[in-house]
């Protein structure tokens, strides 16, 4: 096979001549049908077929692009079959010529060898080659020779080289003062690096030079957009091992595209660059659960595609992902607020989890008073609700008799202290129940309300001329708050179903998740509360202490006999 590569009217072409010598092996002549079928998608031109120098007519077939002819193969005689055609090679920066020897291998050759001779354009050095398949046997500066002594191998010969005019351009750097020539050379290098990016031989060879040339253009002509556009395109050529554009290069491409816009680049030149880079950043942020970043990048992308329905649908999907992530992170209020802002969902306040995360109470009783100190640890995002209710509780408690109540409120907790004078048993019980009724009508207060509602309370102090007897007895039932919280959890789940029924499926599933998360928090609240009771019958005696759990009903009791001080001086 011989081929000559030359410039055509608007692209490089290869004039190809294939010669096959065939020897008849049968005893009689054979009529053979020949079919000319291109192996690729590009159609050859000016096809000629000849046998022993005599031209054969070509007839079209029913299959597009395939023609046919006939020849006679005589017994014991060698016949030369010659095929000529012109093959367009395109107008790209790299010329690629290949010939499939595996197709010719189906023909028995006379001497068991195959040879390909490729004549290159004049003054094209070997340095202009990009890659070859099957190393050439020789190259004399004009003709590349592949010579196979055995039968044609099942492979193809291939040679890629830089288009001659581009090779001359990139190997002769212009003067730094010639801005247009610098830009032209930069665009040629960019075109070469783009051919087989991101890992091909042309990319590896020309990318560094293209990068340096783009930076030189920016330095020489900072007011021009071309250098920034070239850098943006070069950055977008990169891919990681998985085939994705690395986010760092996407960010660099965005910065350069915006610099080009500032320098006056038309929007149609920067838009596709920004879209490609922003799309990658959106997808990468979504894949790694960085929903807020993904939303920010998508908003930038939406400015380029304001009417794209796909962007609107993706925004909803990201918002759902963001709300789900906030819910998973424990920021229920932020997830709910996102649903309100994005979809106008109402009724979510009825699904809220308790603002109370945990509570530790201490109930201390002395002959003069009872002091209840409750530390209530707050759910993030619910501090305002807790603080408002705590102030309401203090105001209500202070309205009862001589009770003193104070609250200390921080971002993490509310500490509430109630001081109740110790009077006769019946009045003490009535007083405590009145205090419980002043608390806010919210289930979070069920625990403190229960501490103010002992089933029974008895404190008796009797004194004779020589001794004093003090007895204490109280029945405490801490189980009712858990019932309140479980009941409220069921109400939350029902309300979530009602709110979700008015929304699209994607939003409804998130509302149900909000409700389920909240309901779980209410049911598990009893696991995070405890109370310590302490009774000090006398200032001279050690107090009695009890630790109670929220699923207990327990009777507490203590008593003491004290010899009066005046008599103890006379006792041995």
Residue 511 has pLDDT above 80, yes or no: yes
Digit-coded pLDDT (tens) for 411-468: 999 999 999 998 888 888 998 999 999 999 999 999 999 999 999 999 988 876 667 7
208: containing domain: 173-306
Residues 103 and 151 in one domain: yes
Per-residue pLDDT of 329-346, as tens digits, reads 878 888 999 999 989 999
Asked whether residue 86 falls in the same domain as residue 204, the answer is no
pLDDT value of position 156: 82
Separation in Å, CA 394 to CA 378, 389, 446, 537, 561: 17, 9, 15, 28, 38
142/180 same-domain check? no
Whether 402 and 382 map to the same domain: the answer is: yes
* Per-residue pLDDT tens digits for 271-286: 999 999 999 999 999 9
What mean pLDDT is reported for the chain?
A: 89
Per DSSP, the three-state class of 104 is helix
- Shortest CA distance to 96 belongs to which of 179, 195, 236? 195
| Structure confidence at residue 538 as a pLDDT band (50, 70, 90) | confident
What average pLDDT does this structure show over 311-324? 88
User: pTM above the 0.75 mark?
Assistant: no
Kindly report which listed range (43-57, 170-184, 487-501) carries the lowest average pLDDT score.
43-57
Classified as helix, coil or strand, 181 is: helix
Separation of CA 485 from chain center: 38
Mean pLDDT over 188-198 rounds to 94
Give me the pLDDT at residue 517, please: 93
Q: Are residues 153 and 209 in the same domain?
A: no
Domain boundary among 136, 162, 188: 162
Name the domain count of the chain. 3
Pairing type for strands 553-563 and 404-409 reads unpaired
Are residues 61 and 68 in contact, defined by beta-carbon separation less than 8 angstroms?
yes
CA 219/CA 208 separation, integer angstroms: 17
Q: What percent of the chain has pLDDT over 90?
A: 61
Domain final residue pick, 103, 130, 162: 162
pLDDT for residue 44: 85
Reported as a single tens digit per residue, the pLDDT across 7-47 is 988 899 999 998 887 777 777 788 888 888 877 777 888 88
Three-state secondary-structure class, residue 4: strand
The predicted model gives 535-552 an average pLDDT of 90
Determine, yes or no, domain membership for 518.
no
Q: Judge if 189 and 292 occupy the same domain.
A: yes
Give the CATH number for residue 124.
2.60.40.3680
Structure tokens at 416: 């509430």
Distances (CA, A) of 432 to 400, 435, 549: 9, 5, 21
Bridge partners of 555, per DSSP, are: 475
Q: Are residues 424 and 533 in the same domain?
A: yes
339 close to 329: Cβ distance less than 8 angstroms: no
Confidence band (pLDDT; 50, 70, 90) for 160? Answer: very high
Beta sheet of 67-73, edge-to-edge order: 30-36, 67-73, 59-60
Residues 88-135 have pLDDT tens digits of: 999 999 999 988 876 665 554 445 677 889 999 988 899 999 999 888
Residue 492: burial class (beta carbons within 10 Å; 0-12, 13-18, 19+): buried
pLDDT at position 110 is 43
CA distance 437 to 442: 11
Share of the chain above pLDDT 70, in %: 95
pLDDT tens, 179-191?
999 999 999 999 9
Considering the domain architecture, whether residues 91 and 53 belong to the same structural domain is answered as: yes
Q: Would you mind telling me the total number of residues written for the chain in this entry?
A: 572
* Kind of pairing between the strands at 529-535 and 356-365: parallel
**The residue to which tokens 């288009």 are assigned:** 163
CATH number for 208: 1.25.40
Report yes or no: 169 and 185 within 8 Å, Cβ to Cβ.
yes
Distance, CA of 21 to CA of 108 (rounded, Å): 8
- CA–CA distances in Å: residue 123 to residues 91, 363, 556: 19, 101, 108
Domain boundary among 128, 162, 196: 162
- The three-point CA angle 196-202-208 to 5° equals 115
Judgement on whether residues 152 and 182 belong to the same structural domain of the protein: no
């Amino acid at each position: 096979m011989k081929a000559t590569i030359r410039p055509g009217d608007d692209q490089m072409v290869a004039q190809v001549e294939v010669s096959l010598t065939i020897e008849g092996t049968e005893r009689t002549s054979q009529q053979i049908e020949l079919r000319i079928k291109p192996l690729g998608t590009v159609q050859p031109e000016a096809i000629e077929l000849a046998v022993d120098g005599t031209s054969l007519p070509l007839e079209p077939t029913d299959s597009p692009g395939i023609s046919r002819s006939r020849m006679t193969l005589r017994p014991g005689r060698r016949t030369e079959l010659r095929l000529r055609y012109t093959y367009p090679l395109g107008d790209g920066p790299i010329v690629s010529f290949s010939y499939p020897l595996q197709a010719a291998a189906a023909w028995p050759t006379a001497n068991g060898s195959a040879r390909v001779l490729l004549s290159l354009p004049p003054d094209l050095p070997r340095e202009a080659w990009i890659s070859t398949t099957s190393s050439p046997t020789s190259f004399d500066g004009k003709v590349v020779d592949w010579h196979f002594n055995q039968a044609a191998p099942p492979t193809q010969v291939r040679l890629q080289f830089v288009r001659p005019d581009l090779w001359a351009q990139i190997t002769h750097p212009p003067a730094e003062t010639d801005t247009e020539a610098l830009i032209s050379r930069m665009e040629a290098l960019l075109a070469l690096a783009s051919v087989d990016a991101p890992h091909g031989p042309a990319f590896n060879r020309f990318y560094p030079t293209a990068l340096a040339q783009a930076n030189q253009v920016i330095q020489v002509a900072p007011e021009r957009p071309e250098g920034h556009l070239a850098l943006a395109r070069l950055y977008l050529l990169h891919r990681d091992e998985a085939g994705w554009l690395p986010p760092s290069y996407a960010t660099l491409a965005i910065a350069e595209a915006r610099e080009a816009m500032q320098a006056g680049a038309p929007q149609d030149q920067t838009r596709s660059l920004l879209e490609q880079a922003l799309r990658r950043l959106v997808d990468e942020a979504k894949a790694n659960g960085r929903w807020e970043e993904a939303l920010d990048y998508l908003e930038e992308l939406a400015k380029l595609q304001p009417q794209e329905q796909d962007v609107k649908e993706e925004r909803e999907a990201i918002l759902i992902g963001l709300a789900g992530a906030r819910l998973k992170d424990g920021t229920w209020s932020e997830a709910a607020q996102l649903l309100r802002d994005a979809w106008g969902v109402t009724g979510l306040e009825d699904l809220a989890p308790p603002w109370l995360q945990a509570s530790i109470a201490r109930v201390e009783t002395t002959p003069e008073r009872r002091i209840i100190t409750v530390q209530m640890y707050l759910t993030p995002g619910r501090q305002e609700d807790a603080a408002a209710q705590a102030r309401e509780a203090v105001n209500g408690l202070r309205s009862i008799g001589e009770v003193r109540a104070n609250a200390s409120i921080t971002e993490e907790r509310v500490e509430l202290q109630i001081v109740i004078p110790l009077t006769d048993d019946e009045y003490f019980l009535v007083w405590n129940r009145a205090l419980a009724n002043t608390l806010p009508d919210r289930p979070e207060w069920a625990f403190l309300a229960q501490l103010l509602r002992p089933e029974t309370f008895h404190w008796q102090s009797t004194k004779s001329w020589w001794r004093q007897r003090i007895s204490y007895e109280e029945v405490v039932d801490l189980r009712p708050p858990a019932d309140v919280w479980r009941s409220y959890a069921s109400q939350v789940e029902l309300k979530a179903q009602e709110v979700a029924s008015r929304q699209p499926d994607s939003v409804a599933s998130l509302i149900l998740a909000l409700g389920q998360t909240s309901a779980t928090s209410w049911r598990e609240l009893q696991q995070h509360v405890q109370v310590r009771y302490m009774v000090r019958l006398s200032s001279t005696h050690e107090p009695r202490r009890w630790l109670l759990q929220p699923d207990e009903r327990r009777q507490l009791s203590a008593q003491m006999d004290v010899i009066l001080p005046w008599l103890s001086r006379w006792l041995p």
